[in-house]
Amino acid sequence: MTWLSDRALGHLKSMADLPDFSATRYDIEEEIGRGGMGIVFRGRDRELAREVAVKVTTWPGADVDRLRDEARVLAALEHPGIVAVHDAGRLPDGRAYYVMAIVRGERFDERAARVTLADRLRLFDRVCDTVAFAHARGILHLDLKPANIMVGPYGDVRVLDWGLARLGSDPGRPITHMAGTEGYMAPEQARGIVDERSDVYALGAILRGLVAAESALPSRDRGSGVPATGRPLRPLHSIVMRAMAEDPTNRYADVASLAADVRRFVDGHAVDAYREPALERIARVGRTYRTAIALVFAYLAMRIVLIFWGR
């Protein structure tokens, strides 16, 4: 008897999991992701000679309606931050699938760990822009987290995994499946009560991770890309606290308001979530407008010198 290694068994299992796409125009190459609802494969569209990603339900008959709903949500959201859907259908074995553009890059948190705080916040702003776009079309994501956000080689951001997405205009319909991810899921979401502020909470949790990473660095190692260099992080902490308030009525009313407050911090302005002490305000204004203030002082100093010189 010949015993197979764990690696060989794993390979055989992955081959067994490969769905039969022989009746379609797609060739399946390898598995690139797996979740509770389905498996994502790298594939190739023979008709158009291009690489694609194919999401397939885990087994015949499983989660067909949810996968179909996810495909329809994505197809309805044409935005640079949302992956385009090319095709959808059913396989002979009963599995549902849809085909989308393949996403290249790295996870949001992996990219964030390698860039300055300013660049992290700019990436966060692009995530907010994508989610705000979906909200404007009545769609809630409900599972926002770093693992569901990809950053491309040129800083392009893609928000993925809309499997829990639902219409925000139907708050009375309960959520009958897994309601998000612990640590990012709003308290009311676990009870099946959701609106735009549920996604605001998750975005606040993502922002909390960005701020925590900066707080853990020695001051000499922190990125200097923020215009208000050396500015305390207390305003950002206050933004996180408002976004993640237990009571939804105490959060930002929408994603746009959250993003605007973060941009105010990056630009060196006062933020709505933080009551700034007078001395801190003076220091912030001094940092933000230090070039202009230096020029004014230089001009005044020169005038004084010329006056005394003339005398």
The CB density around residue 38, as the number of other CB atoms within 10 Å, is 24
Q: Which of 143, 195, 199, 254 is catalytic?
A: 143
Dig out the tokens for 228 from the structure: 């208000």
- Judge whether 90 and 19 are in contact, CB under 8 Å: no
Taking phi over 0 as left and psi of -120 to 50 as alpha, with beta for the rest, 271 belongs to: beta
Kindly give the pairing relationship between strand 149-151 and strand 38-45. Answer: unpaired
Among this protein's residues, is 143 annotated catalytic? yes
CA neighbours closer than 13 Å in the CB half-sphere of residue 122: 13
CA distance linking residue 99 with residue 52, whole number of Å: 7
d(C-alpha 151, C-alpha 111), whole Å = 7
Gyration radius of the chain's alpha carbons: 25
Dihedral of alpha carbons 273, 278, 282, 287, sign: negative
Residues belonging to the active site: 143
